[in-house]
Amino acid sequence: MRQIDTDRNLARTILDELRGAIVSGELVPGTLYSVHDLAARLGVSRTPVREALIQLAERGMVRFERNRGIRVLQTSLHDLEEVFAMRLLLEVPATFRATSQRTPGLAEQLATHLDAMRRAERERDESAFMAADRKFHEAINVASGNLRLARYVDSLRDMVFLRGSSTVDRSRSLADILAEHEAIADLVAAGKPGEAAEAMREHLLTTARLIIAQESAESGESVHVSYDWTRLTD
């Protein structure tokens, strides 16, 4: 973790730095850390670090343990199942609404993020690719007009990364993932809300099934997941 420049937006910067350290594995799942030590590593006081950790606890990334510190949590297969169920329930209607409203500039934003994904795919830069992927989804969710939804979905993505789960070069390629996003963007730009929402649903379902299947195989756990209940129409 980097030391924090106190002239910047301190609270947000600390939160982003801690979240990034957890997602990257620098702060190890299952390990206890003291607020004092984390503050020292960041070069800031304990109060804003504790406030950031409270937000991370609300996201399910850490747990406070009385008189011991905070423990970084490991995402379980059941957690992954719930995360993708929530994303299906939230992002599919958000895509429908964003497309229906023809939010000004949305198609251009998606095109920009797709260009970044294409560059990252050519350069085999998974980190840059996933950062652009995240911005792509965020743009649609924000365009739905519900900022709380956008923030919550963004926090759900951290639960997947916390487990270190990725389908890249395991179940599918960056080019495969890019194609799924291109299909969504084309339908959003064409103003087809029902089809755009269905493309988002298929993208999320594909990601969920592949990640849960490969994580199940690695852990030896037998998991059967059905997301049929997240579709509210027959």
The 10s digit of each residue's pLDDT in 152-178 is 999 888 877 765 555 565 678 899 999
| 188 in Cβ contact with 98 (< 8 Å) | yes
Q: What percentage of the chain exceeds 90 in pLDDT? A: 57
- State the chain's mean pLDDT as an integer: 88
pLDDT in tens, 1-37: 766 565 557 888 899 899 888 877 788 888 999 999 9
**pLDDT attached to residue 75:** 74
Residue 221: pLDDT over 70:
no
**pLDDT attached to residue 122:** 95
**pLDDT attached to residue 95:** 98
- Look at 103-117, 125-139, 162-176 and tell me which has the smallest mean pLDDT: 162-176
| 13 in Cβ contact with 51 (< 8 Å) | no
Q: How confident is the model at residue 142 (pLDDT cuts 50, 70, 90)?
A: very high
Most confident of the following: 53-67, 84-98, 122-136: 84-98
Q: What are phi and psi of 67, to 5 degrees?
A: 60, 15
Residue 133: pLDDT over 90:
yes
Cβ contacts of 230 within 8 Å, gap of 6 or more: 85, 88, 89, 92
**Cα separation, 35 vs 32, whole angstroms:** 10
- pTM score of the predicted model: 0.78
How far apart, in Å, are the Cα atoms of 233 and each of 202, 227, 230?
Answer: 15, 13, 9
Say whether 8 sits in a helix, a strand or coil.
coil
**Residue 65 buriedness (CB in 10 A; 0-12 / 13-18 / 19+):** exposed
**Cα separation, 233 vs 220, whole angstroms:** 34
Tokens (6 digits) for 212: 């849960």
How far apart, in Å, are the Cα atoms of 66 and each of 35, 36, 53, 73, 116?
Answer: 12, 14, 14, 15, 44
**Cα separation, 102 vs 107, whole angstroms:** 9
**Cα separation, 94 vs 92, whole angstroms:** 5
Chain length of the chain:
234
Cβ contacts of 31 within 8 Å, gap of 6 or more: 71, 72
Q: How confident is the model at residue 204 (pLDDT cuts 50, 70, 90)?
A: very high
**Residue 67 buriedness (CB in 10 A; 0-12 / 13-18 / 19+):** exposed
Q: Shortest CA distance to 139 belongs to which of 113, 100, 169, 175?
A: 113
Tokens (6 digits) for 213: 């299947």
**pLDDT attached to residue 9:** 73
**pLDDT attached to residue 170:** 61
